Amino acid sequence: MDEKSEVLGSQYLTFVLREEHFAVEIFSVREVIDVATLTVIPRMPDYLCGVINLRGNVVPVVDLGLKLGMAPFSRTVNTCIMIVEIEVEERGQVEKMAMGMLTDSVLDVLDIKGEDVENVPRMGTRINTEFIKGMGRHGDKFIILLHIAAILAWEGRAVLHNLDQGVLQQEDVMNAFA
Amino acid sequence: MGGRNVGEQAGPDPPHTWGIEEIDMADADFVKVVREEVNELLEELESSLLELEESPEDMKIVGRAFRALHTVKGSAGMIGFDDIASFAHHVETALDKVRNGEIGLSCEFVNLVLQSKDHLTLLLQSACGEGEADAGQGEMIVDGLNTLVTESQGTGADAALQTETTDCCPGRPGNEHGVASSYYIHFLPSPACARQDRDLHEMSRCLGQLGELTILNRPETDGDEPIWDMLLSTNEELSAIREVFALYDNNPRLSIISLTMNCEEELPPHRKLGEILLERGDISPKKLQDVLSRRKLFGEVLVEENIVSRARVDSALAEQQLMTRKREICLKKTQTENIRVSAEKLDHQVNLVGELVVIQSRLSQLALQIQESELQQAVQMLERLSAEMRENVLAVRMLPIGTTFNRFRRLVRDLSGELGKEVELVTRGEETELDKSVIDKLGDPLIHLIRNSLDHGIESPEERRAAGKSARGTITLSASHSGANVAITVADDGKGLDGDRIREKAISRGIVAADADLDGERIFELIFAPGMSTAENVTNVSGRGVGMDVVKSTIEGKLKGAVAIASCRGEGTTVTITLPLTLAIIDGLLVQVSDASFVLPLAQVEKCVEISTEDVERFHDRHVFPFDDQLIPYVRLRDFFMVPGRRPDLEQMVVVQHNKHRFGLVLDSVVGSHQTVIKSLGWVYRNAQGLSGSTILGSGEVALIIDLGGIFQSALSEEQYACQR
């Protein structure tokens, strides 16, 4: 067993996105909740689907399916939000932040051994390989093990990109004085 | 090494020290606390040095600087930061010489001590594993200080006399020796010596030569025990006094207590007469207990019972009195009691109170539905209480802005020296209180503004004289409350902004069109645009064209405030920053568009008016509306935020004011005012357009807080973009 597989062998929470099975390591998931009232934040990309009130805290929610480039999916009774905890570095300080992941339904917790985790194929998944930790074998099926931190870090980059646009707009405003 | 030996020279290789690593693991929190404390002390050191430059004769300030440095040394030694302790020790030694009047205070000296402060800050950072301190720099400073000390010690007597004539030590009348410290001397000559009366008088004469000698208690009759109690004010070392005694008596019982008013010293606790006698071995504990049990006037009883002679009691009383006085003086100096609380705890408290307010408004809503008078009473009480609590918690987080202002004295001093200008920094309204989080973020913008004033605003002394002004320029930094806002101004009396040059520059940088028609204020606002700098040369102070735009974006973006600039050629420039008092909770106006709820900052709302479909048609769906004899533009929130649903026939328009721009927001309905606990939208949504945060309503629903400036700018740029096509 090589070192990598050893690290990857653990318990995973499996869930469904558009009928396909995915999994994330169980320790990164804090809880799973039903979809309550989602407050939509306007003028943002569609996969940033809004915020929820989680016991007095405002928690942003990402539509994981849309984020991974899948088609929109209407919500059902099974639709739920996985609350994950991530670490964000801001001004040199690492802060823990809760984030919601909208999934079509959550299945169960699986033990996936290190030897059952295959490396990520370089192509073919049609998902950014940075988002995938490995391919977990479960019986005769393969489950994509997602790298939550990488997905959200990617989000950070997108936000930075938006920031650049903001500066451009300020110049536009200066032009407007003309 | 003397891992724990405060002030000792740090040895090069520690064999088995209580090293930093160990402490780090055991008491990382403790180190953090000490570090904060040391930082504060260093600030104090700096500010007293700067004051000292203004009034070099004031020995009280020297004392303050010395005490700060001394405590730095102690604290650093305590947690094993020996580099810091040892360096502080060297500087302290030099400063002590100034305090004692041995050497005069020169500008050079202050410079060196200021550099020491910087070096200490670096040392502290490197001790905590952040950055490297340059050991050579430290040596240079110490060498410099030593040279200064040796140079001026030759003229030490002169210096001492100078300080003396300027009344360096009020409260110590009649001393002629540049007195440094007072000693209380309790002396019981050995029997052999006691008989040599002549020697004793010779001895007191010698002591008199060391300084001002006051004899509190001396043997008068032969029957008395030959006890001497003396008060000696001298600038000699303690050892010199001992030497005098050694000369006349080889086995005296001698105790010398320093009475210098150093409040940083560990003071012995107040001691009772019995305790003093006991310590001196004049009475056994048993006898003391005996007498105490009788509870007569203690000293009298002792004498009556022939346990202790009258002379010994008097002597002890004299000492007690002195110690009491010393304690009193020092107690007066101690500041009001404060508790150090971590900002994190306060933040948590604010969050909790925020949640309390949310729950409370939910309760109020329920009580309204249930219509039960007793319940409503209780809910009303809760409402009052939570409002009071909210205000209280927010008040705790308020800090006087003066702490920030002090940081700039050094900046102005150093920069003006570097630029060859004479500049004085005047501060006003230091006591104005602002939320801690606001103060923290305000530092950088203010530095930019002050630098700009120094570099571009204030002219060189020659230019100023030619313009008929005093050679010394003034930068005024002031803060004041105005309603729910705080106004902070940075004003200089320099040459003012050159409108034509700014315009030229803006045109050459493509920021405005060449034929743009701009009035005065608009031109000045251009200096906040990115890439604008009118300084002819790029100095390391300013002129790179970054800065003013950062100032504007920080204040508008992070602090939800506004910046305005006014200037008059030849008379100076004033930048005014307006900030909200707090960022945690605001008074909001709750409004609705279809099912979505939004909150507007109430402070910026002017009026609400109705706007009907006919009104809209009257202006052919151009988004303008007459208000107060003025045609104002409006933004329809439904369109801007792409809210689904049908537009009602009768809409509401809320007229708001942002940065002197008045415009309307058209929405479905106005619900009413709402105590808004601001919750960040989080990292993912930090660039959401037209939104500054969110809040949780009584129903548990999340409402979005509208950023008026953001909406205005976005709507403006979108329309510009659409029209250019």
DSSP string of B107-169? HHHHHHHHHHHHHHHHHHHHHTTSS---HHHHHHHHHHHHHHHHHHHTTHHHHHHHHHHTT-S
* Nearest CA-CA distance, residue B684 and chain A, Å: 7
A89 versus B261: the higher-pLDDT residue is A89
Looking only at the bridges linking them, the beta strands covering B661-667 and B630-636 are parallel
Structure confidence at residue B9 as a pLDDT band (50, 70, 90)? very low
Q: Report the run of H or E that residue B42 belongs to, with start and end.
A: helix B20-54
Are residues B212 and B174 in contact, defined by beta-carbon separation less than 8 angstroms?
Answer: yes
User: What's the pLDDT tens digit per position in B666-710?
Assistant: 999 999 888 787 787 877 787 788 888 888 887 778 999 998 888
Return residues 340-399 of B near A (CB < 8 Å). Answer: 354-355, 358
Strand bridging mode B253-258 / B423-428: unpaired
Q: Is the pLDDT of residue B637 over 90?
A: yes
DSSP label of B259: -
What one-character-per-residue DSSP string does B346-381 give? HHHHHHHHHHHHHHHHHHHHHHHHHT-HHHHHHHHH
A42–B679 CB contact, under 8 Å: no
B511, A171: Cβ pair inside 8 Å? yes
For residue B705, give the 3-state DSSP assignment.
strand
- B77-96: average pLDDT: 80
What 8-state DSSP symbol labels residue A39? B
The answer to whether A23 touches A13, Cβ cutoff 8 Å, is yes
Of B513, B640, B683, Cβ closest to residue A88: B683
Q: Which of A42, A57, A163 sits opposite B641 (nearest CB)?
A: A42
User: Which position has the higher pLDDT, B352 or B158?
Assistant: B352
Cα separation, B676 vs B705, whole angstroms? 9
Nearest CA in chain B to A152: B684
User: Which residue of chain A comes nearest to B677, CA vs CA?
Assistant: A56
Cβ contact, residue pair B679, A167, below 8 Å: no
Share of chain B above pLDDT 70, in %: 79
Tell me how many degrees the CA angle A52-B584-B448 measures, rounded to the nearest 5.
120
* Chain-chain contact of B683 with A58 (C-beta, under 8 angstroms): no
Q: Which residue of A has its CA nearest to B530?
A: A171
pLDDT tens per residue, range A27-54 = 889 899 988 788 988 888 888 889 998 8
Can you spell out the DSSP letters for B164-226? Answer: HHTT-STT-TT--S---EEEEEEEE--HHHHT-HHHHHHHHHHHHHHEEEEEEE---STTS--
Q: Beta-carbon neighbour count of residue B690 at 10 Å?
A: 22
Q: Does B507 touch chain A (CB under 8 A)?
A: no
Q: In this predicted structure, what is the pLDDT of residue B253? A: 72
Question: Contacts of residue B694 in chain A, CB cutoff 8 Å?
Answer: 39, 51, 58
Q: Return the pLDDT at A79.
A: 92
Q: Is A40 close to B596, i.e. CB distance below 8 A?
A: yes
Query: Can you point out the beta strands (E) in B517-668?
Result: 562-568, 572-580, 585-593, 596-601, 605-612, 624-627, 630-636, 650-658, 661-667
CA distance A88 to chain B (A): 8
Asked if residues B177 and B212 have their Cβ atoms less than 8 Å apart, the reply is: yes
Query: What pLDDT is attached to residue B541?
Result: 47
> Which residues in chain B touch residue A97, judged by CB atoms under 8 angstroms apart?
682-683
CA distance A145 to A135: 6
Residue in chain A nearest B519 by alpha carbon: A177
Task: List residues in chain A touching B: CB distance below 8 A.
Answer: 36-37, 39-44, 48, 51-53, 56-60, 62, 88, 90, 97, 99, 155-156, 159, 162-163, 166-167, 169-178
Q: Chain A: residue nearest B715 by CA? A: A173
Q: Which residue of A has its CA nearest to B358?
A: A56
Within 8 A of A99 by CB-CB distance, chain B residues are: 682, 684
pLDDT at B489 over 50: yes
Q: How many CB atoms lie within 10 A of CB A166?
A: 15
Among B75-89, B217-231, B341-355, B466-480, the range of highest mean pLDDT: B466-480
Tell me the pLDDT of chain B averaged across its residues. 76
Q: Give contacts of B 700-719 with A, CB under 8 A.
A: 700-704, 713-714, 716-717
CA distance B347 to B351: 6
* CB B103, CB B97: distance < 8 Å: yes
CB contact under 8 A, A174 and B713: no
Distance of residue B523 Cα from the nearest chain A Cα, in angstroms: 9
Spatial contact of B78 and B7, defined as CB atoms under 8 Å apart:
no
| Pairing, β B485-492 against β B473-482 | antiparallel
B228 to chain A, any CB pair closer than 8 A? The answer is no
Structure tokens at B535: 């300084």
CB-nearest partner of B694 from A51, A171, A175: A51
Chain A: residue whose CA lies nearest to B521: A177
CA distance B181 to B187: 19
Please list every residue in chain A whose beta carbon sits closer than 8 Å to the beta carbon of residue B355.
Answer: 56
Residue of B nearest to A42 (CA): B641
Under 8 Å CB-to-CB from B553, ≥6 apart: which residues? A170
Contact B710, B689 (CB under 8 A): yes
Measure in Å the smallest separation between the Cα of A62 and chain B Cα atoms: 9
Instruction: Dump pLDDT digits (tens) for B24-70.
Output: 444 566 777 777 778 888 888 888 888 877 777 777 788 888 888 88
One-letter identity of residue B398: M
Decide if A37 and B700 are in contact by the 8 Å CB cutoff. yes
Count of CA atoms in the C-beta half-sphere (13 A) of B701: 14
Task: Put the strands of the sheet holding B228-234 in their side by side order.
Answer: B211-217, B228-234, B181-188, B253-258
Distance of CA B406 to the CA centre of its chain: 7
Is A100 in contact with A59 (CB distance < 8 Å)? yes
Contact between A64 and B663 (Cβ < 8 Å): no
Distance from CA of A9 to the nearest CA of B (A): 30
Q: Nearest residue of B to residue A88 by CA position?
A: B683
Q: How far is the C-alpha of A72 from the C-alpha of A85, rounded, in Å? A: 25
Q: Is the pLDDT of residue B141 over 70?
A: yes
Chain A contact for B684 (CB, 8 A cutoff): yes
Residue B482 CA, chain-centre distance (Å), reads 23
Q: Which residues contact B466 (CB under 8 A, 6 or more apart)?
A: none
Residue B295 binned pLDDT confidence (cut-offs 50, 70, 90) = low
Query: What would you measure as the largest C-alpha separation in chain B, in angstroms?
Result: 119
Provide the pLDDT for residue A161: 36
Per-residue confidence at B259, pLDDT binned at 50, 70, 90?
Answer: low
Distance in angstroms (rounded) separating the CA atoms of residues B528 and A38: 38
Residue A9: count other Cβ atoms within 10 Å of its Cβ. 18
Q: Which of residues 532-571 of B touch A (CB under 8 A)?
A: 549, 553
For residue B326, is pLDDT > 90?
no
Nearest-CA distance A139 → chain B (Å): 37
Q: Which amino acid is at B41?
A: L
What residues in B contact A59, CB-CB < 8 Å? 682
Per-residue confidence at B294, pLDDT binned at 50, 70, 90? Answer: low
Do residues B397 and B439 touch, judged by C-beta distance below 8 A?
no
Chain B residues with beta carbon closer than 8 angstroms to that of A83: none
Question: Cα–Cα distance between B528 and B448 in angstroms, integer?
Answer: 12
pTM: 0.49
Tokens 């935020």 locate to B641
In this predicted structure, the answer to whether residue B332 has a pLDDT above a threshold of 60 is no
Of the pLDDT bands very low, low, confident and very high (cuts 50, 70, 90), residue B419 is confident
Pairing of strands B253-258, B181-188: antiparallel
Long-range contacts of B709-713 (CB under 8 A, 24+ apart): B709/B556, B709/B658, B709/B659, B711/B635, B711/B640, B711/B665, B712/B635, B712/B658, B712/B659, B712/B661, B712/B663, B713/A169, B713/A170, B713/A173
Give dist(CA B77, CA B86) in Å, integer.
8
CA dihedral B673, B679, B682, B686 (to 10 degrees): 40
A174 contacts B512? CB cut-off 8 A: yes
Residue of B232, B138, B216, B129 whose CA lies nearest to B180: B232
- Residue B689 buriedness (CB in 10 A; 0-12 / 13-18 / 19+): buried
Q: Pick B530's closest partner by Cβ from A52, A59, A171.
A: A171
Q: B689 vs A43: CB contact, 8 Å cut-off?
A: yes
Q: Which residues of B touch A174 (CB under 8 A)?
A: 511-512, 526, 529
The pLDDT value given to residue B390: 77
Q: Which of A84, A80, A76 is nearest to A155 (CA)?
A: A84
If one counts every other C-beta atom within 10 angstroms of the C-beta of residue B189, the result is 24
β-pairing, B596-601 vs B572-580, is: unpaired
Decide if A42 and B526 are in contact by the 8 Å CB cutoff. Answer: no
Two tokens, residue A5? 């597989």
As a whole number of angstroms, the distance between CA B290 and CA A104 comes to: 89
CB B555 within 8 A of CB B449: no
Is B534 or B713 the better-scoring residue by pLDDT? B713
Do residues B678 and B627 make contact, with C-beta atoms less than 8 angstroms apart?
Answer: no
Q: Which residue among A40, A42, A178 sits closest to B516, beta carbon to beta carbon? A: A178
